[in-house]
Amino acid sequence: MAERIAILGSTGSIGTQALDVIKRFPDRFSVEVLVAGNNFEILARQALQFHPDAVVIGNTDHYQPLKNMLKDTSIKVYAGDDAVEQVVTSSSVDVVIASIVGYSGLRSTIAAVKAGKKVALANKETLVVAGSIIEKLTRESGSRILPVDSEHSAILQCLTGEMGNPVEHISLTASGGPFLHFSMERLHEITPKQALKHPNWDMGSKITIDSASMMNKGLEVIEARWLFDLTPDQIKVVIHPQSIIHSLVHFADGSVKAQLGVPDMRVPILYALTYPERLPTDLPRLNLLKTCSLTFSEPDLMKFRNLSLAYDALREGGNMPCILNAANEIAVNAFLSEQIAFTQMPDLVEYTMENTEFGVSPDIEFLEISDRSAREVAKNYINKLINQR
C-alpha cells in the first residue's frame, strides 16, 4: 500500500520538490494532506493535480477563496493553525513532511511526533527551539524523525550500517554563500537582492538569507546535536564552496566517511521517505570527471558572527536557542525590508540574547513566552537603530 503523506508547507521550496518526488513514485506514495500558510492559489493548483483528501490554509482569510476554487471536487478544505495540528494526527496519515519555515512550524511538528508519525523534518527550527522536548516526545510516542536537510541527511547516510561505532566528530559542510570572500566593508553594503542569489541551491528567501549570513549553518549545528546525540565540540563546520560533499563523519579509528552528490534537495527528500531503502531515480548524477576541484577552509567567525552566536546558544542551552531563532527571524525580515544592514543582523541577535530572560529547563509554554519576548526585544532594537539615523 502506498504511504499516505501530509506535506506541511507544500507551496514552499521543499514542499514543491517533495511533490515532484512523490509524483515519480505513484505506487509508493500518495498525497493525503496539503498545508500552506498564505499561497491559496498555488495550494489549489496542487490539490487539483494530486487530489489529496484534505487541504489546510493557515491564514483563515483565504478559506473561502480556496474553498471556491475546489468546490467541484471532493477535497475537504480547512483553515487555521488548529486544523493543521488536527490533520497531521489523523489515522489516514502515515508520514508528515514538516517544511513550514521558522518557528511557526513547531506546534504542527510536535503534534505529528505526539501522534507517533514518521516525520521527514525540513523545519530545522523545531529542534533548534525545542530539541529536548522533541527528544522526550519521540521516546514516548515511537515517532521517528528523519532529516531532510542535505547536511543532516548526509550524516545519517554515513552513519547507516555503522552499528554504534564510536564517532569522533562530524563536519557539516557550508557553501559559504555568495559573500564568502567579501570584506567587512563590502558586507555592510549588501542589498537583499544580492543576498537572495545563492550560488548553488534553490531555496526560499528566509533560508537563503540565513545561508548568506551563515545562521543557517548555526541552526544546523544545533539541530545536529539533537538528531545525532552529539556534544557541541563534536560538531564542526567546514567551508566547501562547491557543495558536492554534503557532510562528513569522522570515526574514532581515524576513518572518514563522506556523502557526495549534486546540489539537489530531491535526493535527501526521497531518502527521508524511504530510509534505509534507496529507490532508483533519473535525478541528476554526480560526474567526478567533470567536477572542478573540491576545496575546504575554516569559517571566518569574525566576519560571519551568526555561526559563533549559534554555538554560544547551544552551549548555553535552556531557552537560549529559542531566543537566537526568534531574534534571527526578526533580523531576516528587517534586512529584507531594508530596515537594517546585512552586518547588523548578528548585532541584533546578540543584543536579543543578552536582554531576554533566560530559563534553564523550559517547557513548551515557557518557550512560547521566550519566543514572544525575544521578538519584542529585537523589534525594540530595530526601532532604536531607525531613530538614531
Residue length, the chain?
Answer: 389
The residues, any chain, with a CB within 8 Å of residue 158's CB and separated by 6 or more, are 247, 248, 249, 257, 258, 259
What's the confidence (pLDDT) of residue 270? 98
What's the confidence (pLDDT) of residue 200? 64
Q: Where are the domains of the chain?
A: 3-147
Mean pLDDT to the nearest integer, 355-382: 97
Per-residue pLDDT at 198 exceeds 80: no
Pick the CATH number of 3-147 from 2.60.40.10, 3.40.50.720, 1.10.150.20, 3.10.180.10: 3.40.50.720
The helix/strand/coil state of 60 is helix
Output the average pLDDT for the chain: 95
Interval 235-277: pLDDT, tens? 999 999 999 999 999 999 999 999 999 999 999 999 999 999 9
pLDDT class for 203, splitting at 50, 70, 90? Answer: low
Per-residue pLDDT at 204 exceeds 80: no
CB atoms within 10 A of CB 347: 15
Interval 287-342: pLDDT, tens? 999 888 999 999 999 999 999 999 999 999 999 999 999 999 999 999 999 999 99
Mean pLDDT to the nearest integer, 334-362: 97
E-strand spans in 128-191? 144-147, 167-174
* 35 membership: H or E segment, kind and range: strand 29-36
Structure-block grid coordinates of residue 70: 475546489
Share of the chain above pLDDT 70, in %: 98
* 247 membership: H or E segment, kind and range: strand 245-251
Interval 176-190: pLDDT, tens? 888 898 998 899 999
Place of cell 541551491: 201
DSSP string, 256-318: EEEEE--S-THHHHHHHHHTT------SPPP-GGGPPPP--B---TTTSHHHHHHHHHHHH-T
Interval 4-16: pLDDT, tens? 999 999 999 999 9
Share of the chain above pLDDT 90, in %: 88
Mean pLDDT to the nearest integer, 209-215: 93
The residues, any chain, with a CB within 8 Å of residue 254's CB and separated by 6 or more, are none
Per-residue pLDDT at 199 exceeds 80: no
Choose among 136, 128, 133: nearest CA to 363.
133
Per-residue pLDDT at 202 exceeds 70: no
Distances (CA, A) of 67 to 43, 57, 58, 61, 75: 11, 10, 13, 11, 9
CA–CA dist 182, 10 (Å, integer):
35
Interval 97-140: pLDDT, tens? 999 888 888 999 999 999 999 999 999 889 999 999 999 999 99
pLDDT class for 201, splitting at 50, 70, 90? Answer: low
